Amino acid sequence: MKRLKIGIFLLLSFILIISLAACGKEDVQKVRVAEVTRSIFYAPQYVALEKGFFKEEGLDVDLKTTPGGDKTMTALLSNGADVALVGSETSIYVASQDSKDPVINFAQLTQTDGTFLVSRKKMDHFEWNMLEGSTFLGQRKGGMPQMVGEFVLKKHDIDPKSDLKLIQNIDYANISTAFASGTGDFVQLFEPTASVFEKEGKGYIVASFGTESGHVPYTTFMSKQSYIKENKETIEKFTRAVKKAQDFVQKESAAETAKIIHPFFEDTDLETIEMVIDRYKSQGSFAEDPILDKQEWDNLQNIMDEAGELPKRIEYNELVNTDFAEKVSK
């Protein structure tokens, strides 16, 4: 009789353990994220993954790189991804096509442009008018880097169409290679390429487009309106994990953040990663919280309009939802 009771007790305990394990699996929500490129510029996202901030919220984040804003948005619209990390201008392009299920910006990751002006020659003192008459290797037409680039040039009274030779027909992945092989006097580059070029003597950073252009929702987490409506709790948890990562990056040293995200950039040495993070932190590129404010939204549309790439003005409340960002930032 005693053995029977022990057997029943062990059996019930086993069933309870299995049940709890099963419940745990059901509680974990998988979220498929498509990032527009793999970049140190997105350091807080990788911190959230490596530090387990998403897991703490019960989320299993599957991150994939879908090069280019068009591919990233296609992945989101075709249900190949639940969340996209891409420039906010893409949500405006979708809305201008009268989408019945608009893409909503819910958490901002970066708040400035992430590119730098690199000169082929070393300059002890740089002035923007030095670009006049030069060959400028810019970014792809219609993308935020290109629009910000032209916005900054015009800000300094340089007409990109007539005051210099502007090259925009080179694919994003080949821009740095083209410059290294001798094309252009100046080039607009992302990190870590800009810093690597400087270390190798192939070019010299002379200015920051992010500092010159002001705050914009340069890279934002977004989802289709229908997904947000059906997964409010998941979006809130996701945003909270992002905020934890943003706090970490702001509080900790660039060296500490570099060590944490190094697995995502194994081909880049720690010293370079640290230098890039420090540069982005010093110019305020990493958003301190996930709230995308109206002033940033208006600045984005002004830049797009100046570049002739704004299909139509979209009201802030139509494509921006700050409910989750504001809640987790309190």
Banded model confidence at residue 302, pLDDT cuts 50, 70, 90: very high
Rounded mean pLDDT, 164-174: 88
Q: What is the mean pLDDT of the chain?
A: 91
Is the Cβ–Cβ distance between 224 and 102 less than 8 Å? yes
Q: What are phi and psi of 26, to 5 degrees?
A: -70, -30
Which tokens is 218 given? 């340069």
Structure confidence at residue 141 (pLDDT)? 79
Rounded mean pLDDT, 6-28: 50
Which tokens is 135 given? 């060959």
CATH 3.40.190.10 range(s) for the chain read 29-112+216-329, 115-213
How far apart are alpha carbons 70 and 85 in whole angstroms?
12
Structure confidence at residue 170 (pLDDT)? 87
Banded model confidence at residue 312, pLDDT cuts 50, 70, 90: very high
How far apart are alpha carbons 129 and 133 in whole angstroms?
9
How far apart are alpha carbons 196 and 179 in whole angstroms?
13
The tokens 């989750």 sit on which residue?
Answer: 324
Structure confidence at residue 62 (pLDDT)? 98
Banded model confidence at residue 25, pLDDT cuts 50, 70, 90: very low
The tokens 């901030």 sit on which residue?
Answer: 53
**CATH code, 29-112+216-329:** 3.40.190.10
Rounded mean pLDDT, 209-232: 96
Query: How does pLDDT run across 114-125, given as a tens digit for each residue?
Result: 999 999 999 989
* Domain topology for 115-213: D-Maltodextrin-Binding Protein; domain 2 (3.40.190)
Rounded mean pLDDT, 297-321: 95
Write the CA distances from 39 to 11, 35, 191, 277, integer angstroms: 51, 9, 8, 11
Among the residue ranges 63-67, 168-172, 230-234, 318-322, the one predicted with the least confidence is 168-172
Is residue 24 pLDDT above 70, yes or no?
A: no
**Helices 270-282/254-261 angle, 10° precision:** 130
Among the residue ranges 36-40, 100-104, 138-142, 264-268, the one predicted with the least confidence is 138-142
Higher local confidence (pLDDT), 268 or 8: 268
pLDDT > 90: percent of the chain: 83
Rounded mean pLDDT, 278-296: 96
Structure confidence at residue 140 (pLDDT)? 80
How far apart are alpha carbons 76 and 330 in whole angstroms?
29
Is residue 21 pLDDT above 50, yes or no?
A: no
Task: Measure CA 40 to chain center.
Answer: 9
Banded model confidence at residue 143, pLDDT cuts 50, 70, 90: confident
Structure confidence at residue 22 (pLDDT)? 46
Is residue 189 pLDDT above 60, yes or no?
A: yes
Q: pTM for the full model?
A: 0.87
Residue closest to 320 by CA, chosen among 248, 220, 250: 220
Strands 165-167 and 135-137: parallel
Numbers of helices and strands, H then E, in the chain: 16, 10
The tokens 């943003």 sit on which residue?
Answer: 246
Rounded mean pLDDT, 275-303: 96
How far apart are alpha carbons 315 and 323 in whole angstroms?
16
Is residue 100 pLDDT above 80, yes or no?
A: yes
Is residue 4 pLDDT above 80, yes or no?
A: no
